Amino acid sequence: MAELDTSSGGGHKKGPGVKKGKKLSTRVDLTPMVDLGFLLITFFIFTTTMSQPTALKLFLPDDKITDEPNKAKESGVLTILMGADNHIYYYEGQLKSDGSNFLSASYNGENSIRDVILKKKADVRSRSRDAENPYKDFVVVIKPGVECNYKNVIDILDEMAINVVKKYALVDISDGEAQLVKISDASSQTSASN
Amino acid sequence: MGRAKLPRKSTNIDMTAMCDVAFLLLSFFILTTKFKPAEAIAVETPSSVASKVAPNKDFVLVTIDKDGKVFLTMDDEQKKELVANTINGERNLGINVAAFKKAGFIGAPLTGLNSFLSIPEENRKGDQLPGIPCKDSTNNELTYWMQVVKAAYAGEKMDLLLKGDNVAKYPAFRNVIAAFKKNELLKFQMVTNPENAPEGSELWKSSMKGEKQED
């Protein structure tokens, strides 16, 4: 291994005047070197970036094609609205004038938007008469409010991928809905502080 | 009966093998490591379950920072030169093409482009720069930039990337999308951090079955 045989072979006798040199071992203590090695390894393990950023694809519809509007059946539509401070709301079908079907959800945990999407999806499936493609009428409309942030939008788009929603649309929020979101945001703020 | 005498073993361990392994690992990590370039624009990207690795060649990257400021990055120097020449020709700004080619990113209104390029590269910090105006449809310079960039890449493959900060507000994102839409750039990719699909979800089930996520 890391040592050399330094013992003089053959048993050759030296002359009477020659002093016997002290035999030094060539064995080197490698422990500090190993220490240093592992220190550097640790450094490189921590500084190395193994994970590459990924890309989430998004295809926008062309605004110019207006002769064939994407008509959706009311029973299959779920509209998701995002407000400030990670608030999220949804309604099924069309928004009732009294706002009674305007409900609130959360991004994760209890009453999560995922459960809402899955419930709606199951609902659409149970009512569908098309055995080939039972989710044909299922459309999720995403309406981010002006106060929500980029992460919220990505989270919802991600939710579409997670729950395998084939049809979804990113739509601008209408004034009435924006008002409703604003009011709901404000009321949940006060209820949280109480 | 006397027990067989065990020869006393030395407690010295031969470290050579361990040393070999340590340095093998060390050389592996040294060779594979890629230092993250110091980012001039601080952006924390959200996570998504997308599994496709973001392209790192021939891309056009639009960055939205946490204040909603917009920056443009291109990696191809030839295309950058084309873009600079086009802008010079159309807007008569007389921008320094060589400096434009070297610039890591663009983050100033067209009128302030010359003074932006005169700042040394290492002093260009995203939080101190105005960014490309993209506030509303009337003064959306990004639309112009995308038009020029699209023309520079005409007929060639171009990966349009959008990198946004977690806390950037939605209107900034919407304005960028509007700029893309105006130039009929309808396909783009958003840069995210990888994340695993939540257990029990449909995507998780299909990936457990070995199905690949569609692009």
CATH at A138: 3.30.420
Q: Give me the pLDDT at residue B211, please.
A: 65
- Whether A173 is covered by a domain: the verdict is yes
Alpha helical stretches, state H, B75-112: 77-91, 97-102
Q: What is the pTM of this model?
A: 0.73
Range of the domain at B75: 69-194
Q: What is the Cα–Cα distance from B200 to A57, expressed in whole angstroms?
A: 23
Chain A residue numbers with beta carbons less than 8 Å from the beta carbon of B191 are 53-55
Asked if pLDDT for residue A3 goes beyond 60, the answer is: no
Beta strands in A3-116 (DSSP E): 54-59, 77-82, 88-92, 103-105
Q: Which residue has tokens 């040294």? A: B30
Say if A54 falls within a structural domain. no
Asked if B72 and B60 touch (Cβ cutoff 8 Å), the reply is yes
Residue A151 resides in a domain: yes
Query: Based on the structure, what is the number of domains in chain B?
Result: 1
Neighbours of A130 (CB within 10 A): 10
Which residue in B144, B138, B117 sits closest to B129, CA to CA?
Answer: B117
Q: At what angle do helices B170-182 and A150-162 cross, to 10 degrees?
A: 70
In a domain, B176, yes or no: yes
Task: Check if the beta carbon of residue A138 is closer than 8 Å to that of residue A70.
Answer: no
User: What residue of B is the nearest CA neighbor of A63?
Assistant: B181
For residue B101, is it within any domain? yes
More confident: B159 or B38: B159
Q: What is the pLDDT of residue B41?
A: 76
Q: Which of A108, A147, A149 is the best substitution to test chain B (most B C-beta atoms within 10 A)?
A: A149
Judged against a pLDDT cut of 60, whether residue A121 lies above it is answered with yes
So what's the pLDDT on residue B204? 78
CB neighbours (10 Å) of residue A77?
Answer: 20
Residues 6 or more apart from A82 whose CB is under 8 A from it?
Answer: A88, A89, A142, A143, A144, A145, A148, A152, A153, A156, A181, B170
Q: What is the DSSP letter of A165?
A: -
pLDDT of residue A89: 87
| pLDDT tens digits, one per residue of B149-198 | 888 888 788 888 888 888 888 888 888 888 888 888 888 888 888 888 78
Domain of residue A124, residue span: 74-193
Nearest 10 degrees: Cα torsion A171, A173, A177, A182: 130
Record: contact A63-B181, CB cut-off 8 A: yes
Is B61 a residue whose pLDDT tops 80?
yes
Task: Return the residue of B nearest to A60 by Cα.
Answer: B186
**What are the backbone dihedrals phi and psi of residue A161, each rounded to the nearest 5 degrees, phi first?**
-70, -40
Q: What is the mean pLDDT of residues B125-152?
A: 79
* Number of domains chain A contains: 1
Partner-chain residue, chosen from B16, B30, B194, that has the shortest CB–CB distance to A44: B30
Chain B residues inside the 8 Å CB shell of A33? 15, 19
Residue range A4-61, pLDDT digits in tens: 445 444 445 555 666 667 788 777 788 888 888 888 888 888 877 666 778 888 887 7
Any domain includes B188 = yes
CA atoms within 13 A on the CB side of A156: 31
